[in-house]
Amino acid sequence: MFIATDNQFTARGRLVDSPQINISEKTGNAIVSITLAQEHPFKKNEAGERESVFIKYTAIDTKNNPIASRIAEYVTKGSLVSLIGYHDSYFKENSEGKKEYFEVKRISTFRNEESKEKTLERRTKA
């Protein structure tokens, strides 16, 4: 039996790009995919510094939770965010009629650790 808390994740990092809203043709819901740059917890490069990993996460607006729209509105490239979500999966049939399985890291909630304005200000000073 699937229980969302069994597959839960927490993540913290900076957005690699500004989020872009897409509209699902099937449901009409807003969908946002974001990529976070996160420090790898174990691997270090030759200089002894931690390397970054880039992980993709997805948010989908629902009737009770317009999370994708909120993410697009309140964060931008370089924003520091914390995410809570769960690992989800789905399948599609390919042209040969075989099932292809996909895994998605679905965002349930997010917290903006740095305002959009603060991020833009920091980026212009750099």
Task: Please state the three-class secondary structure of 19-81 as a single string.
Answer: CCEEECCCCCCEEEEEEEEEEEEEEECCCCCEEEEEEEEEEECCCCCCHHHHHHHHCCCCCEE
The CATH number of whichever domain residue 21 belongs to comes to 2.40.50.140
Residue 73, domain extent: 4-125
User: Domain total for the chain?
Assistant: 1
User: Does position 3 have pLDDT exceeding 70, yes or no?
Assistant: no
pLDDT, tens digit, 9 for 90 and up, residues 14-55? 999 999 999 988 889 999 999 999 988 777 778 888 888 999
User: Does position 5 have pLDDT exceeding 70, yes or no?
Assistant: no
pLDDT, tens digit, 9 for 90 and up, residues 54-99? 999 999 998 889 999 999 999 999 999 999 999 888 899 999 999 9
